[in-house]
Amino acid sequence: MKVLITGGGGFIGSQLAKRLAEKGTLIGPSGEAEEIDEMVLFDSHFSPAIEQGSIPHRTLLHGDLTNRDSVFEAVDRDDIAVFHLAAMVSGECEERFDDALSVNLDGTRYVLEALRARRGTPRVVFASSVGSYGGEDMPDTVGDLTKQTPRTTYGMTKVIGELMINDYSRKGFLDGRSARLPTIIIRPGAPNAAASSWASGMFREPLSGETCYLPVHRDQLHPMLGYRDVVDSFIALHEADPDLIGSDRAYGLPSHRISVAEGLTMLEQVANERNIALGLVIDDFNPVIQAIVDTWPTATDGSRALKLGVPTPKSVKDIIRDYIDDFTSHSS
């Protein structure tokens, strides 16, 4: 079978591709585990490391999600599974409304239409976000029954994506599942345009000996999940028995609710364990970022996803240890 990962050049998509290359199989149209004989990463941009082969057994397809023909060309087999991760992230969606609609709404629709044009009911896993919640009536802990009233354009596009997944599945055009992600840590490399970028930066920059400039308050609580867990959650959602999915196919993932201060304490403890000298963390309050973060929930109830087989989140200290091993020169 073929696997297509849109956004396969990004943080989570590239980690998912590495994991699938190791795993080698997924449940295919036969309903049984089938060998992945083709894995295509579709993205408008790939890092030099990916271009040079850091992910094995993959084909890179440079394309734009807003180009319907490119998307249809990528979905060229009936025995296909799609992980749809390509999207504009929260900060850039606030700044570029029209582009946000083209990429996150039209692009998602092209992916679903391309799958609809295939024979059978191919599985697709869509990356949604806790950014789909918001508003003054939002509880601190959000769950799958919490009403989604986002206060950002990004969040709006994610709610619509979830609803499209539900309806295309109800019509029998495909078999979709949505993973509603908390903030995933720790993104390697450069900061991105997400308003939650600091949640990775507060670990990443000090670990590489650089200064971290914190745009939010230190008592800010935030729902966080590790990158290895989110990859395993995508796979678990893909593999879940269709009879167990139900009519609402959007599953909120579990997470840790920690404050910035708690996260920094855990970072110091792990750095001491590994003998790593940390860079400084300097408060550099940014009211625009804080205002977006204030619209988000601080905790997630992932019990429905856990019942379906997504993993129990690793501890934050273990996420920091994984990151050191996977992405830094301090690996043990």
Ligand X SMILES: NC(=O)c1ccc[n+]([C@@H]2O[C@H](COP(=O)([O-])OP(=O)(O)OC[C@H]3O[C@@H](n4cnc5c(N)ncnc54)[C@H](O)[C@@H]3O)[C@@H](O)[C@H]2O)c1
| Position closest to ligand X via CB | 10
Q: Please state, in angstroms and rounded to a whole number, the distance separating the CA atoms of residues 126 and 149.
A: 19
Q: Select from 2, 10, 93, 266 the one that contacts ligand X (CB under 6 A).
A: 10
Shortest distance in whole angstroms from residue 12 CB to ligand X: 4
Q: What are φ and ψ of residue 199, in 5° steps?
A: -65, -30
CB of 273 to ligand X, least distance (A): 25
With CB under 6 A as the contact rule, the residue among 40, 184, 216, 236 that binds ligand X is 184
What is residue 143's DSSP assignment? -
Q: Taking CB under 6 A as the rule, does residue 87 contact ligand X? A: yes
Q: DSSP letters along 80-128, please?
A: EEEEE-----HHHHHH-HHHHIIIIIIHHHHHHHHHHTSSS--EEEEEE
Report CA torsion sign: 13, 15, 19, 21.
positive
Count of residues in contact with ligand X, rule CB under 6 A: 26
Site string (26-45) toward ligand X, x via CB under 6 A: -----------------xxx
Smaller CB separation from ligand X, 103 or 289: 103
181 near ligand X, judged by CB under 6 A? yes
- Among 40, 55, 80, 86, contact with ligand X (rule: CB under 6 A): 86
Shortest Å, Cβ 315 to ligand X: 18
Does residue 299 bind ligand X (CB under 6 A)?
no
Separation of alpha carbons 79 and 119, rounded Å: 9
Assigned token pair, 258: 């920690």
Selected range binding ligand X among 82-90, 165-173, 201-209, 313-321, rule: CB under 6 A: 82-90
Residue 253 within binding range of ligand X, rule CB under 6 A: no
Tell me the β-bridge partners of 250. 178
Reply yes or no on whether 110 is catalytic. Answer: no
Residues 6 or more apart whose Cβ sits within 8 Å of residue 259: 218, 219, 220, 221, 222
- Least CB distance to ligand X at residue 184 (A): 4
Q: Does 153 bind ligand X (CB under 6 A)?
A: no
Note whether 65 binds ligand X by CB under 6 A.
yes
The residue among 65 and 308 lying less far from ligand X, judged by its C-beta, is 65
Residue 144: count of CB within 10 angstroms of its CB = 16
Candidate residues 2, 7, 101, 289; the one interacting with ligand X per rule CB under 6 A: 7
Phi, psi of 72 (to 5 degrees): -65, -35
Residue with token string 């625009």? 288
What letters, b where the CB count within 10 A reaches 16 and e where it falls short, cover 17-46? bbebeeeeebbbbeeeebebebbbbbbeeb
| Catalytic entry in 154, 168, 227, 251 | 154
Nearest distance from residue 126's CB to ligand X, in Å? 8
Q: Which helix (H) or strand (E) holds 198?
A: helix 198-207
Q: Active-site positions? A: 154
**Which residues lie near ligand X (CB under 6 A)?**
7, 9-13, 43-45, 64-66, 85-89, 103, 107, 127, 129, 181, 183-184, 192, 196
